[in-house]
Every structure is written in C-alpha cells, then in structure tokens.
Amino acid sequence: MSAGKRKRRNLTSARERERAGNGLRYLSSPLHRPLLCCDSSLSQKWKFPGVILWLSFVVEGVSKLLGGPVEAQLGEGQEEQVMYVGEDVAPQEADEEAVAMIEEPHGVNSMFSALGDSAGDDGGASSGTWNMDTSVVLRSKTIHISSAILAAKSPYFYKLFSNGMRESEQRDVTLRITQAEESPLMDLLQFMYSGRVQANTPATVLDVLMAADKYEVATCMRYCSRLLKNMPMTSESALLYLELPSSIILAEAVQPLTDAARTYLANCYRDITRFIDDVMGLPLAGVEAVLASDDLQVASEDSVYDFAVHWARHHYPKLEERREVLGSRLVWLIRFPMMSSRKLRKVLTCTDFEHELASKLVLEALFFKAEPSHRQRQLAMEETMHKRYCERAYKYRPVKVVDFDTSSQCLVYLDLKLDECRALYPQGRVYTQAFHLGGQGFFLSAHCNLDQQGQYKCFGLFLGMQEKGSVSFAVDYEFAARMKPTWEFTPKSKGSYVFTGGKAVGYRNLFGMQWQDFIAEGSPYFRNNIVHLRAELTIKKSPSG
C-alpha cells in the first residue's frame, strides 16, 4: 500500500473516532471510497460519497466532459477533501442551510476553474479532455461540490448522485447548460450551501427561480418567490410572473407571488371602464386576474360578459381558438347568475360559445335566480372553486325579476345588506340593473333622504323609467317588504302613475320611521342583516303618445 493511501486511511479512522459523539460514521463502499452516514433515519436515505465531487458545466452545449478519476487529479502528498453533513440536512429543511463549503481545485484561486475558453484553441491538444463527437465547445467550468448537500436539497441531484442516473457511478458529473443559465445556476448552488442568493433585481432573481424549478430546489423557489413578492411590482413584472411556465405557476412555493401579482393587476384595473384600452391590451393571464376580482367596478355583470367577448374577438380572430379560450378559461370568470335575463337570452344566440355550453350556463343562471334568497346565499358559500354566485361591487344592484305570460305584469325582488344601507347615509342612493316591462326599461332606486316635511332622514324607494322621449303609459305599482314576526311580504305603499321618459315615482319614507330606527339592531325589516324588498308592477293600458 502506498504512503498516500495509508495516510488517507489513517485520516479516515481518526475522523471517525473524532466525530463519534456527533452520531457520524464512515462506511466503505465496494470501491473503498468513504461513504458518510448518520446514525439517525437520515442514514437510510442519503448514502452518497461524502467527498467533494467534480461538477462540470459545459456552457452552450457539448455532451460530456471526459475527466479523469479524482485520485489522478490529486498531487502527491495531497489528501482527498471530505465534507461532513449533519443530521439537520434533509430535503424538507427549507430554512436551515448548511454553511457554504465550496472548495477550489488545487492551484486555482477562483470558485471554479476555466478548462478552456473555446474549443480548438490548442490545435487539438484537448482531445483527451473533450468528447469530440459533439459540437464545438464554447466554454466549460468545473467546481467542487458535496453530493450529500446537493442531494439533500434537490431531488434532481439526488437522482443524479444515486442509482437513478448513469452519472451516479462517476466522480466527474457534467451538466449541459446555456450561457444564460450559468449565472443563475451558480447562484442556485451557492444558495444550497448558504441559504442566500446574490441576485438582487427582479430579472436576475426570476432567473434563479427558474433554475431552482429546473433542478427541483423547492427551498430556493420559495426564497426567490418571497424576494420577488417584496420587491416593488409593476404591471409588466406582474404579467411576467403570471406567464411563467406551468411547472412554476402551479408550484406551492410560488403561490404567494402569483397571488400578489393577480391582486396587483386587479387593483390597477379595478375601474375597468376607465382603463378599457389598457385592459383590452392585456394578455390572457392578465385578463383572468382582472375578471376574477370581486371588487371590479362595473355597471353590472352584463358589462363583464360584453367585455370578455369583445376581448376574445380582438385577440383570437379565429372562431375555434376564441371558443376554446372563452369555453375553458374565461367562462368561469363570468358570473352568469348575476346577469340580467335579457342578456342571458342573448347568450343563447351568441356563436362565440358552443351552443351546448351556452345552454348549460343559462339554465344554471335561471335556476339560481329562481331560488329563494337564503338558498342563494347557501349556494354562494358552497361554491369554492369559482365565484359564480357571488356579487361584485356593481354600480347597479342585481334584481330578480319574475315575468308573467301576459308580459304586462312582473315581480321585481331587491335585497339590500345592512352595510349597504348604512353606506347610503346621509344622502346616498343605489340604483338597480334595468328590467323590462311591456318593452320598456325600468329600474328601482333606494335613497337615504329627508321626509316630505324635511324633518329627518328616512329610507325611500322609487320606480323609474329609462327611456326618454314622448312614450308614456300608466303602471300600477305596489311596494312590499318582509317584516317581523312572520317575515312574509307586507305591502307598504301602492299607487298608479303615468310614466313618461326619464320620470320616477315612489315614497320618501317607505317604512314611516326615522333612519336610525330603520337600521337599528331591533329593526323589524332586517332578517340576517338583509332587507328584502318587492315591487309588483302591472301595465294598465297600451302606451299612448
């Protein structure tokens, strides 16, 4: 046995005795290479060489670096370098990284050694180093790494250093990367030792995040996601995060970042009508973020539907592609149960949707509208994947309309939450979406106003007609509200009115009480913090000029 081998064996025995108290021991492989194990359960999982391996990067593409065995690269009298891995190193230990222990090759002062700036510079003298069956080598770099540390942090490297890949039997491991991947990969390796990255701009951190995804380092993905989330966000960066590859978008570690990006875009374009040109220019991922928001400021869900169809026609001129995007992506963001019955009829004839899908959506919406209020609230709470049954911050409140066969009579139901009523004080008003009777458009409006004598604030309810002009006709109306103790609808006022375009009729003090009593805790009109109103309308005669 040579002096060098005896010295290495003695060193191994000494280190074994020295670290016995830490639960570490060496096992010998069939090749007589020292293997590092722990006396804990970790020993059943990580049986990798505890030595520094050669990890070579071939930048801009060759197949493999033909390096010699490690023993041949050690100078006379030099010892094989060993890295020790404690019990705290495991794939799930995301926040406690091992101390950086990247070793330099002997005689090199940098973290990695350049083995050649380009192929062919030595006139073919490098034929023993490069695989000449491959394309021209641009550049390669070699570093020392600990297989145990990398395997503990990355399933990719675990397979690379175990029986999962051919490289597991070699001491020289080569990765082929592009030039753009070099810096992110070096940063990723540094993270696996120190728990930190050098990148400090959104672009560079994003590169490291993508490298971490490629090499399956979940702890680094989580770290980079947190860095990006804490950096100032712009519309451009938010869109960039939402258009990452699906493997990254779906990763649990990146969810906080993508959620923040969606929230940012939703807040930027909350008033969709004000920024209509900007929103029309957004890609699909951006439009999805905007339309998914509960706080979208639109007149009604009809407007959301119109925008989605218009956007799809603009970005996808081909009908097949447009149907695919609308039917698989955007349709779940349109809350059809909140749309007006008039608009739902148009959905059935819209060719941008498959007819079978359109029929299903309209039927579902109509069934929801037919449900009583408490059942609607229950359905909204049960819907977890999408928010089809939840109202947005509409400018005009949705109503439920029951039409009769004669088309000259209808019932209109309006529900207002206690918080919405309180927000009307001292002189606010809220309008409903339009509904149609006898071919004319009408609406309801709830007010916080002074009573007829101007003495105190009270709740008022009014019926108005949309169209302006010379058209006029008479309507019988009756306003009712649910109230204690039976919570049945109780008539509160009724009358007849000859409508002309733009006119409205109603009562300033529908309940005959002051505002404070109306919204008080013991109010007889709020059931589960909701006041239920109904308007029964009947056309008395045909319109006359």
Domains in the chain: boundaries: 3-177, 191-262, 269-382, 396-539
Which position has the token pair 């007849």? 496
| For the chain, counts of helices (H) and of strands (E) | 19, 18
Cα gap 88→162, rounded to integer Å: 20
The kind and range of the H/E element at 223 are helix 218-230
Please report, for residues 237, 299, 434, the alpha-carbon distance to residue 273 in angstroms, rounded to integers and kept in the order given.
23, 9, 19
Q: How do the pLDDT tens digits run along the chain, 545 residues long?
A: 555 544 444 444 444 433 333 332 323 233 333 333 323 233 333 444 444 455 655 555 433 333 333 333 333 333 333 332 333 333 333 333 333 333 333 333 333 333 333 333 444 433 333 344 444 556 777 888 888 889 899 999 888 887 655 544 556 778 888 888 999 999 999 999 999 999 999 999 999 999 999 999 999 999 999 999 999 999 999 999 999 999 899 999 999 999 999 999 999 999 999 999 999 999 999 999 999 999 999 999 999 999 999 999 999 999 999 999 999 999 999 999 999 988 999 999 999 999 999 999 999 999 998 888 888 889 988 887 788 999 898 999 999 898 887 778 999 999 999 999 999 999 999 999 999 888 888 999 999 999 999 999 999 999 999 876 667 788 999 999 999 999 999 999 999 999 877 788 999 999 999 999 999 999 999 999 999 999 999 998 654 44
Q: Which fold has domain 396-539?
A: 2.60.210
Cα gap 131→58, rounded to integer Å: 11
Cα gap 260→475, rounded to integer Å: 51
**Closest residue by Cα to residue 85 from 99, 72, 75, 73:** 99
Please report, for residues 169, 218, 256, 334, the alpha-carbon distance to residue 163 in angstroms, rounded to integers and kept in the order given.
8, 22, 35, 50
Quick one: pLDDT at residue 534?
A: 98
Asked if residues 72 and 171 have their Cβ atoms less than 8 Å apart, the reply is no
**Closest residue by Cα to residue 12 from 54, 55, 53, 49:** 49
Supply 201's token pair.
């701009």
Largest CA distance in the chain: 118
**Closest residue by Cα to residue 9 from 34, 37, 38:** 34
Residue type (1 letter), 488: E
Quick one: pLDDT at residue 169?
A: 52
Quick one: pLDDT at residue 455?
A: 93
Quick one: pLDDT at residue 166?
A: 52
> pTM of the predicted model, to two decimals?
0.70
Cα gap 482→400, rounded to integer Å: 15
Cα gap 309→475, rounded to integer Å: 36
Q: Half-sphere exposure of residue 384, counting CA atoms within 13 Å on the CB side?
A: 1
Residue positions counted in the chain: 545
> End-to-end alpha-carbon separation of the chain, Å?
118
Quick one: pLDDT at residue 499?
A: 87
For the domain bounded by 269-382, which CATH number is listed? Answer: 1.25.40.420
Which position has the token pair 């949309």? 466
